[in-house]
Structure 1
Amino acid sequence: MATAHTHVTKQQAPPHRAAELSAFGVLILLAGAFLPIMDFFITNVALPSIDTSLHASAASLQLVIAGYGVAYAALLVLGGRLGDSYGRRRLFLIALVGFVLASLACGLAPGVGVLIAARIVQGATAALLVPQVLATFHHALEGERKARALGLYGATSGIAAVVGQLVGGLLVGADIAGTSWRPIFLVNVPIGLVVLLVAARIVPGTRSEHPVGVDVPGTVLFAATLVTLLVPLTEGHSLGWPWWTWVLLALAVILGAVTYGVEKRAERRGEVPLLPPSLLRLPSMSRGLVMVLAFSIGFGAFMFVFALTVQDGLHADALHGGLAILPMALLFFAGSVVAPRLLSRFGRAAMSAGAVLQLAGLAWLVAVLLADWPHVYLWAMAAPMALAGAGQSVLFAGLFRSVLADVPAHLGGIGSGALITLQQSGLALGVATLGTVYIGLAPHGASHAFAAVEYVHMGIVALLAVGVAALPRFTRATPVTPVTES
């Protein structure tokens, strides 16, 4: 019986390389990827305005964030494989049209139910769109240009997270024509249309000569596992933990076990499952993915509760709430620029140092909030936010680079698919779990609620500072490869 590794190896015919992608084409594809990544975070600073406008419950506000993240995480690998089969430019353009229409539906939503549904569609179309960017870079570029494009994608994905809340604050604060929070979604429409028209003309069409089939059972089971896990975690506290939330949590455990069993049997049959168990047992993957998941849980929760603390706790408007994140955005960008050199020279020590800097910044921020509450000036948070942003940029880059260190080249697409899927799952889990803790404690004091969440976050970062020693050594750049099989 063929193994998964021989099955994939037989597919390694050199791919036909389409017309070369221009530098402007790289920027257009990065712009297409920037919008979906930013949209996970841009909503955070708008939550109070959405609450006021649509009279949404706390659980509904969490679903506005988590619904997007779950759909995104569950369908990422599926998006990569569909691009392999039907053409990456074609799927990029189709998914971008869907994303623009879903953004329009979000911006015009008359109620929170419609907003949540549109956000889920947004997440699903984002999952079909983003993998095409990496895959096109992989197949239309070579050598240094390819490495540079992949590096720019890594920087873009991190920067989009912190810039999202800044842009969200600026747009909500501007209150354009009295539209409050709606421009954070509507702005995607003109930008998306420009990217669509330009990409249709200058992005070369590529597809895999030997596409891997879609793992329908694995995709459905993994998505069901995420939904049954995140829905009760998101809704449970506000509803008083009714019986069905516990049933769904138990079902999530069962579905997770079933998913593993189905994927294991598929791999034994020589197929390429959504998340191959043999690949997940590699040291870099088994250890690194746990760290990526933990980092993402903490990061997703931080961005969510910081926005609520500044606006609901300190009564800052959305504009100032967005500006409060600016120091982190600037230092995250600067850190992303120098991180590759630091990682190449110092390896895992640079990651540990980044974690220590992030930990120091978070501890300083908590100290400022607890000491000066409720008279906390936003400028007083600038230095700790900058320190945390600088540290997490290096840790973030190092984790992405280390996870794929042991993955064979011909399985790189599957490995990066698992990596990005776990990252998005962690972001949604952070909002659903630690976000729920914050919402439960906030009525008794926003500063102490923020501190409680950040103590957990700091514990995660401290474990990462030590845990990176268990990752494989690396001395040169290991770029994140596309969510695709060639």
Structure 2
Amino acid sequence: MRLSPLMQLGLLAGPLLTMVDSSIVNVAVPDIARELNAGLATTQWVVSGYLLALAAGLTTTSYLARRFGTMRVYAIALAAFLLASAACAASPGIGALIAARAVQGFSGAPLVPLAMSILLGRQGAARQIPVAAGILFFLAPAIGPSLGGLLIAAGGWRWIFLINVPVGALALLGVRRLPAGVAPAADGHARPDPLGLVLLSAGLVSTLFGASRATTAGWTNPLAMVTLTAGLALLLLYAWWGAQTQEPAVDLTVLRHHRSALALALSVCSSVVAFAAVFLLPVFTQSVQHHTAFATGLALLPQGLITGVGTALGQRLSIRYGTRYLVVSGFAVLAVASAGLLLLTPATPLWATALILSGRAAAIGFGITPLLAVMLAPLPDTKLADGNTLFNIAQRLGGSLGVGILGSLLAARAVHTGAVPAFHEIGLILTAVAAGAALLSLRLPARTPEVALDTISARSDSGAGGKAAGE
């Protein structure tokens, strides 16, 4: 069945809004602090609270989708996100705003993995990201700061939350028109995994908080090290627990297949190389080249659009040329484009910077769809929520840790060598990561495999004696 434009909007607007809201508030922090009479350190929790709550909400997504149905959970999460957005806009003080942002993050967490599950699940074995979804999903993080600046200039910081309400309300109308069979139904016998949820959510939140703290306060900061170490330990404990229980909070069965695990690891490498430049380059353009935040945002915009177009083009090329060839080529181009960062100087025009980023964006777009297809290939539709949730968790962990480490290294090296040489060193690291990923990509299958989950489970059982969670 072909989805109408309104139905497609229902599935695309939710992920778009939650991803835009991950970055749109960054430019509003000074205005919020001034109007609500709060310190910058406290106001930063408007950003951090959203991201940490979003991470915690991700851990509940798979169980909620199994127990209550993918479509129902998506609709309720979208409605709750809109109500929280309205509460953010109406907040009388900083405490109320931080609380509303936490609710907004928690309720928005299921929107990306569940929308992807619905869109990919409709296609059976030939799972491909729709063209519009690819463009919007990768454009969203890039347009956040620019859109935020425009809305603040037009009507004040409250408009960055109010804009969600009409767009989301229209999306809810589209969701209501979706046919009942578009997503897996509820499983009334699905059991919760309380211990797994606690281990996974606490581990994810603690790790992300520790990485964020280390980025700002340094990797020798006691609070950063304690929370980061505790978070990683809890995540390892969850990995052990998830292999022992029949219905874990997030099913890790897919990782027992080495090709799926490799595809996930490579996608994390791609995320680190991509987002490190997105987060660190504005520091260079504003502090070294002295461009405005708005001009920098405009320079970052083309890469989001090109990544989305590259994603759509990549899935067509993977069908024609095969997975391995496309991913290896994508990472090789990414390495060459990342080496272009070594050419940046204080006098480099923004259009040249945008051109370098666009080359990187195209390469990332080519590779991400085939990697996602390889990872999800073993999963039936009923397990897509687990696969997409795991993909989102890995992306957030890898991206946060990678950006945190590289950001701290950039700050430390800038003190000793200067800002430009330090940024060139980061460019060398990103080039090396992309080149290493290209070599690892040679182990991918020539074409996306179509492997049944029970086949993977049987192989895993014979090797480890455990019972797969998907049985």
Q: Matched residue of 1:273: which SS?
A: coil
CA contact (8 A) 1:25 1:203 kept: no
Once the two structures are overlaid, the 10-residue window that deviates more, 46-55 or 201-210, is 46-55
Give the corresponding residue for 1:387.
Answer: 359
Kept after mapping to 1: 8 A contact 2:337/2:360: yes
Task: Name the residue aligned to 1:245.
Answer: 224
Letter in 1 for 2:84: A
2:171 — aligned with what?
Answer: 195
Offset of residue 89 of structure 1 = 3.7
Q: Which residues in structure 2 correspond to 1:57-136 (within 5 Å)? A: 57=41, 61=44, 67-76=49-58, 78-107=60-89, 117-136=99-118
What is the count of residue pairs matched by the alignment?
447
Could you say what secondary structure the match of 2:110 adopts?
A: helix
Matched, 1:56 2:40: yes
Deviation at 1:67, TM superposition (A): 4.7
**2:325 partner amino acid:** A
Match of 2:242 among 253, 263, 282: 263
Give the counterpart of 1:166 among 120, 143, 162: 143
User: Shift of residue 142 of structure 1?
Assistant: 6.2
- 1:340-355, aligned counterparts within 5 Å? 340-347=315-322, 348-355=324-331
Please say if residues 146 and 298 of structure 2, whose CA atoms lie closer than 8 Å, have aligned partners that are also in contact: yes
Corresponding position: 1:34 with 2:16: yes
Q: RMSD of the alignment, in Å?
A: 3.7
Displacement after TM superposition at 1:119 (Å): 4.0
Pair 1:279 & 2:257 matched: no
C-alpha distance in 2 between matches for 1:433 and 1:116: 27
Give 1:328's match in structure 2, choosing from 275, 298, 303: 303
How does 1:338-417 map onto structure 2 within 5 Å?
A: 338-347=313-322, 348-367=324-343, 369-370=344-345, 373=346, 375-407=347-379, 411-417=383-389
Q: Deviations over 1:462-484 (max 9, x none)?
A: 21111111223315899xxxxx9
Equivalent residues in 2 for 1:209-224, closer than 5 Å: 209=187, 212-224=190-202
Q: Alpha-carbon deviations, 1:168-205, whole Å to 9, x = none?
A: 314404643462x5544332222112222443355647
1:64 deviates by 5.7
User: How many angstroms apart in 2 are the aligned matches of 1:134 and 1:247?
Assistant: 35
Counterparts of 1:420 and 1:376 in 2: how far apart (Å)?
A: 35
* Structure 1 position 450, deviation (Å): 3.7
2:274 maps to which residue?
Answer: 299
User: What do the CA deviations read for 1:410-429 (whole angstroms, capped 9, x no partner)?
Assistant: 65543333223212332333
Residues in 2 aligned to 1:303 and 1:294: alpha-carbon distance in whole angstroms: 14
Deviation at 1:301, TM superposition (A): 2.5
Greater CA drift, 447-456 or 280-289:
447-456
Give the direction of change, closer, same or farther, for the CA distance of 1:36–1:458 in structure 2 (3 Å limit).
same
Q: Please tell me the residue identity of whatever aligns with 1:246.
A: M
- Inter-partner Cα distance in structure 1 for 2:312 and 2:92: 42
Measure, in 1, the Cα distance between the counterparts of 2:403 and 2:34: 20
**Contact (CA 8 Å) 1:324, 1:378: kept in 2 or not?**
yes
Cα distance in structure 1, aligned partners of 2:360 and 2:2: 39
Structure 1 partner of 2:457: none
Task: Check conservation: 1:81, 1:485, Cα contact below 8 A.
Answer: no
Counterpart of 2:369 in 1: which secondary structure?
helix
Aligned partner of 2:153 among 176, 179, 193: 176
Separation of aligned partners in 1, 2:321 and 2:259: 18
- Quote the Cα distance in structure 2 between the aligned partners of 1:292 and 1:132: 19
CA offset digits 1:349-401 (Å, max 9, x no partner) = 2111111222222221331x23xx1x332112132122111111112222212
Q: Deviations over 1:238-263 (max 9, x none)?
A: 44644343333332343233222322
Q: Decide whether the 8 Å contact of 2:28 with 2:148 is kept in 1.
A: no
Amino acid at match of 2:231: A
What TM-score, normalized by structure 2, do the two folds share?
0.80
The code of the aligned residue for 2:284 comes to: T
Partner of 2:6: 24
My pick for the range that moved more, 209-218 or 392-401, is 209-218
Distance 1:135-1:353 versus aligned 2 partners, 3 A rule: closer
- Distance change >3 Å, CA 130–CA 391, structure 1 → 2: closer
What is the CA distance between 1:315 and its match in structure 2? 3.3
C-alpha contact 1:106 1:185 (8 A) present in aligned 2: yes
Q: How far apart, CA to CA, are the structure 1 residues paired with 2:381 and 2:80?
A: 32
User: Which residue does 2:289 correspond to in 1?
Assistant: 314
Give the secondary structure class of the aligned counterpart of 1:358. helix
Question: Counterpart of 1:472 in 2: which secondary structure?
Answer: coil
Q: Which residue of 1 aligns with 2:458?
A: none
State the AA in 2 paired with 1:254.
A
What's 2:233 paired with? Answer: 254
Give the TM-score taking structure 1 as reference length: 0.78
